[in-house]
Amino acid sequence: MDFRDSPAEAEFRVRLRAWLVDNNPGLPASSTDDAYWARQAEWHSALYDAGFFGLSWPTRYGGHDLPTVFDVILDDELAAAGAPPRPSLGYLVQGMSTHGSDAIKDRFLPGLISGRDRWCQGFSEPDAGSDLASLRTTAIHEGDEYVIDGHKVWTSYSDVADWCFLLARTEPDVPKHKGLSAFAVAMDQPGIEQHPLRMINGITSEFGQVAFDGARVPAENMIGEPGEGWRVAMTIVSHEREPGELGYVARYSKTVKELEQAVRADPDAFRSDQREGIAWAYVQAEMLRLHVCRRLSERLDGVDHGPGGSVDKLLMTWVEQAVGTAALDVSGSRAAVDTDDVALKVYLYSRAQSVMGGTSQIQKNIIATRILGLPTG
C-alpha cells in the first residue's frame, strides 16, 4: 500500500504543474457559469495536445497507456492550480471500448479522446428517466440505414455535439430491455433539432433536449450488436457514476479551497457553524480524493464494469452536496440578495447531483440488490 508517487508519477506531476502555470485558462466553474462551456472545447484540446488527457487509454486511440492512477495526479494538480476539471467523457470511452467493433473504435475513439469530435449522450427521455429501458425513441432499419424518431432530454453538451451516443429501440416487439441498440449519430443533419435546458441555477449550456424527426444513421454506426443497447447503456452509466472517471474531485477541492481562503482572509467574520461546515466539506472532499486513489488503484487489476460505481456515485453526491451547502452557508445573506452569487449557483447545482447519472434512490436499489444481494420486493 503506497499513496506516494512513483518516480514516473512524480516526473509527470512536475511536468503537469509547470504546464499549468502558463496554461490555466482561469475559467469559472462548469457548474455555475456558461462561460466555462463556451471554452470547454478549447480547454479539452489544450489539455490533450499537451499530453495530459486520455492518460490511461490506449495509445492506438490517442491515449497514453499509463496506469489508471495517473488520473489521480491530474485531478490533484488541476485542483491545486485552480484549473477546470478534466473533460468528463471517460464513460463514453468505456462504453465504446467495451462494446464497439474494431472499426467503430478506430473510427470514433481518437476524435472523442482528443476533443476533435464533440459528443453528447442521448439516453434519457421525458418519459424514460429512472426507468430508462422504457425509452420510446425508435430506430427503424431501412436498407443500409436506421431512421430515428423520438425525443431525448438531459442530453449533455448537445448544443456543440458533432455526434450523439444514442440509445434507441430497434425491436419494438421484444421485452423492453432486449429491444434496444446503440448508435453513433451525426448531429449535423436535417432531422435533428436541439434546444437548451435551463437549470435551476440559471446555466443553459450543459444540458439540452434533442428532437429526432426522421434523422438517419448508417447501419455501420451501430455500437455493439443489434439488441445489445441495454448492456452498452449499463456499461456507460456504471462509469458515469464514478468520480474516478469523471474527475469531479478537482472541482470540489477547488471550491473548498476558495471557501477556506475566504474565511482565512477574515476569520472573525464567520460563525462557528460556518467554519465547521467548511471543515466538514474539506473532510468530505478529501474522502472522495482518497476513495478515487483506492478505486483507480483497484483498476490496476483490470476494469470492473460492476455495481461498485453506485457506491462511488452516492459518496460523490454527498460530497458535492456538503460542499454546496457549506458554500451557501458561508455566503449567507449575499445569496439572498444577489441573483448572481456564485455560492448560490454552486449550491443549486449540487442538488442535481443526486439525480443526474441515476438518482440516489436508483443507486441504493442497485447497491441493495446487486452488492448486498438483498431480495427484490
Partner 1 sequence: MDTRDTAEQAELRRSARRLARELGPATVAGLDDTTRAKRLAAAVHDAGWLELRNDAGDGRPLASGVESTIVVDALAGRAADVAFSGPVLAADLARRAGAPEAVGSVVAFTRGLVEAAEVDGDVTSSPLYAVDCGGEQLGPVFALQPDGDGYRLARVRDGGPIDGAVGGADLTRRVCTIAPGAAVLPVARQDRLLTRDDLAAWIALGLALTSADLVGAMRGVLDLTVAYAAERRQFGVPVGSFQAVQHLLADAVCLMEGSLSVALHAAWAVDDLDPEEARAAGRVAKAYCGRAARTVCETAIQVHGGIGNTWECMAHVYLRRALLSSQWFGDAGEQLRHLERERLGAADGLS
Q: Active-site positions? A: 240
What is the grid cell recorded at 104?
A: 467503430
Asked if 280 is part of the footprint of partner 1 (rule: CB under 8 A), the reply reads yes
Map residues 53-82 to x or -, x wherever contact with partner 1 holds by CB under 8 A: ----------------x--xx---------
Beta carbons of 359 and 130 less than 8 angstroms apart: yes
What element of type H or E holds 36?
Answer: helix 34-38
Binding segment (CB under 8 A) for partner 1, from list 124-132, 139-147, 210-218, 263-271: 263-271
Q: What are phi and psi of 212, to 5 degrees?
A: -105, 120
Site for partner 1 in 287-326 (CB under 8 A): 287-288, 290-291, 293-294, 297-298, 300-301, 311, 314-315, 318
Q: How many residues bind partner 1 (CB under 8 A)?
A: 55
Say how many CA atoms lie within 13 Å of 204 toward its Cβ.
Answer: 4
What is the grid cell recorded at 333?
A: 445573506
CA distances from 266 to 38, 261, 330, 334 (A): 34, 9, 12, 16
Binding segment (CB under 8 A) for partner 1, from list 5-13, 126-134, 192-200, 219-227: 5-13
The residue count of the chain comes to 377
Q: Which of 173, 268, 333, 337 binds partner 1 (CB under 8 A)?
A: 268
Query: For residues 222 and 281, which CB has a smaller minimum distance to partner 1 in the complex?
Result: 281
Strands 138-142 and 145-156: antiparallel
Site for partner 1 in 241-260 (CB under 8 A): 260
- Longest Cα separation, the chain: 72
Q: Which of 106, 220, 276, 304 binds partner 1 (CB under 8 A)?
A: 276
Query: For residues 169 and 291, which CB has a smaller minimum distance to partner 1 in the complex?
Result: 291
Asked if 234 is part of the footprint of partner 1 (rule: CB under 8 A), the reply reads no
Asked if 7 is part of the footprint of partner 1 (rule: CB under 8 A), the reply reads no
Q: Which of 56, 121, 253, 284 binds partner 1 (CB under 8 A)?
A: 284
Site for partner 1 in 350-369 (CB under 8 A): 361, 363-365, 367-369
Distance CA 325, CA 281 (A): 9
Distance CA 351, CA 343 (A): 13
Beta-carbon count within 10 A of 200 CB: 10
Distance CA 106, CA 117 (A): 13
Q: Which of 126, 130, 271, 306 binds partner 1 (CB under 8 A)?
A: 271
Site for partner 1 in 8-37 (CB under 8 A): 9
* Angle, in degrees to the nearest 10, between helices 90-99 and 229-240: 150
What is the grid cell recorded at 218?
A: 448508417
Q: Which of 74, 192, 278, 342 binds partner 1 (CB under 8 A)?
A: 278
Asked if 138 is part of the footprint of partner 1 (rule: CB under 8 A), the reply reads no
Q: How far is the CB of 105 from partner 1 (least distance, A)?
A: 28
At residue 318, the 3 state secondary structure works out as helix
Residues linked to residue 183 through DSSP beta bridges, in sequence order: 166, 222
Query: For residues 170 and 317, which CB has a smaller minimum distance to partner 1 in the complex?
Result: 317
Q: Which of 41, 263, 355, 356 binds partner 1 (CB under 8 A)?
A: 263
Enumerate residues 6+ apart whose C-beta is below 8 A from 286.
Answer: none
Q: Which of 5, 34, 162, 258 binds partner 1 (CB under 8 A)?
A: 5
The CA-CA-CA angle for residues 98, 103, 106, to 5°, reads: 80
Q: What does the binding site for partner 1 look like in residue numbers (CB under 8 A)?
A: 1-6, 9, 69, 72-73, 260, 263-264, 267-268, 270-272, 275-276, 278-280, 282-284, 286-288, 290-291, 293-294, 297-298, 300-301, 311, 314-315, 318, 361, 363-365, 367-369, 371-377
